[in-house]
Every structure is written in C-alpha cells, then in structure tokens.
Amino acid sequence: MKNKIIEINTVEEFDRLKKREKMIAYITLFRLNLYGKGVHCGPKAIQNKLRDENLTPVPSISTIARVLKSQCLTNGRTGYYQEDYPM
C-alpha cells in the first residue's frame, strides 16, 4: 500500500478498505472539506476533527502529515495531478 493514492467514489469501495486505508480516506476527506471551507486544514486541525467524529485510534500529527504527503495534499494542493509528477 505504500505510495498508493486512495481514491473513494462509492460506499462499496469504502467498505472494502482495510482499517488503515479507511483512516487515510477520513484524513483525506477532512482535509479537502476543511480546505474547501477556507479554514485551517493542517494535521492538527484534522486530528481535532477525527477526535470530534470519535474515530479511533486517532493518528499522531506526524502520521497525519505523512498521509497528507502520500495523498499529494500538501502546500495548498487538492489532489494528485499526473502532469506535476513526470515519470
């Protein structure tokens, strides 16, 4: 699963994910939601949102930061754009 971007389009796809992959999906969802609202959307804000939603275990800030990086969601980005990552 290393360096694999998780993209969910249906509930059925979400249900097939492993527990760790579901947490990555939640982190991605909350990041994009907070970003879309124009509020702080860094690892600490996402960690607080996970706690608010009672999703456990809540990952550390550094783990959330690694997930955001692996999902290409850093520095104001909203996703992976193939043209930005030439092979």
Measured CA to CA, the distance from residue 19 to residue 23 in angstroms comes to 6
CA angle 82, 84, 86 (to 5 degrees): 75
The torsion of the CA quartet 5, 46, 58, 16, rounded to 10 degrees, works out to -30
Across 37-60, average pLDDT? 94
CA dihedral 6, 2, 74, 32 (to 10 degrees): 20
Residue-level pLDDT at 1: 43
Percent of the chain with pLDDT over 70: 83
Distance CA 73, CA 87 (A): 19
Average pLDDT (57-82) is 83
Distance CA 44, CA 38 (A): 15
Please tell me the predicted confidence (pLDDT) of residue 84.
Answer: 57
* Residue in this structure with the two tokens 């360096």, named with its chain if needed: 3
Average pLDDT over residues 7-30: 93
